[in-house]
Structure 1
């Protein structure tokens, strides 16, 4: 293993183990050392080191750093000149749309989304609450454009089924029952009267 010698001012209050932890955490966060390698720097087990990283909040920073590195790698490898990505509508509404893209276009857009995700907390915690810009100048022209992401801390609510009332239900109260009987009576009387008149007429002319 390499040996490093540091000279610190007397006013800096720290110790060797604390410096080792800070160094190992920084190396792990920047993906310059694996968890096993960083743990060896501070003479800790891998699980104990990862517990320290989680407690210090370095795991989140490491993830964001890895996301940015992956996005940069995609941008450097994939060809913007050959990329195809467009959103088109074939009907009159947003539910009638489709994506036309090749592999380069999909990966470059994925890189934009990865970078946007790394800035989510920063934008949500800011006072301006501005959108996160998406750089898609390389994208081919479509009927729908992508300019920015409006971040939100909300979660998607589960769709609640709408309870449909039955066409008819038995009266639940005395007043409802009386009303139903009256309605039947008002309908039945003229019906029976018409039937009775028809019977009499039929009898007279038979």
Structure 2
């Protein structure tokens, strides 16, 4: 999308006053950031989306300013952001980097894997047979 398209969307979203009813927060419910979630109502999501759209709109201009590391600040200290949330996203740092996906090749079972599987199954069978023979021998010895 170009700047004008993004600005049109931003303008449409900013027409309504959402700040009174908005609620937004990012929380962690477990052991780390991989267990995070967003708790928000519609108005809060729209306000957060406006900030992200503004960052997208201004990214090219920020990247042209090569004198210093440029960031786009987000409204993490606004009234509509929950004060008790555990994660605050304070700014967006634009980059020209392109993510490269490294495709993982499907795992091919080698002969050592097959041998290991056969060896483990054989050891379990030998242990079961030995246990049965031992129990039968003990019963015959008692009787």
TM-score range, shorter chain: 0.5 to 0.7
Matched, 1:131 2:44: no
Runs of 4+ residues over 3 Å off in structure 1:
162-167
Question: Is this contact kept in 2: 1:78–1:108, CA < 8 A?
Answer: no
Question: TM-score, normalization: structure 2?
Answer: 0.65
The correspondence of residues 1-206 of structure 1 with structure 2, limited to 5 A, is 63-127=2-66, 128-136=68-76, 137=78, 138-141=80-83, 142-161=85-104, 166=110, 168=112
| Greater C-alpha Rg | 1
Question: Is this contact kept in 2: 1:78–1:104, CA < 8 A?
Answer: no
> d(CA) in 1 for partners of 2:53 and 2:9?
8
> d(CA) in 2 for partners of 1:110 and 1:168?
52
Q: For the aligned residues, what is the CA RMSD?
A: 2.3
> d(CA) in 1 for partners of 2:43 and 2:100?
34
Q: Report the 3-state secondary structure (helix = DSSP H, G, I; strand = E; otherwise coil) of the residue aligned with 1:168.
A: helix
Q: Which residue of 2 aligns with 1:40?
A: none
* 1:151 Cα deviation after fit: 1.0
Q: What 5-or-longer segments of structure 1 have no aligned partner?
A: 1-59, 170-206
Q: Number of paired residues?
A: 108
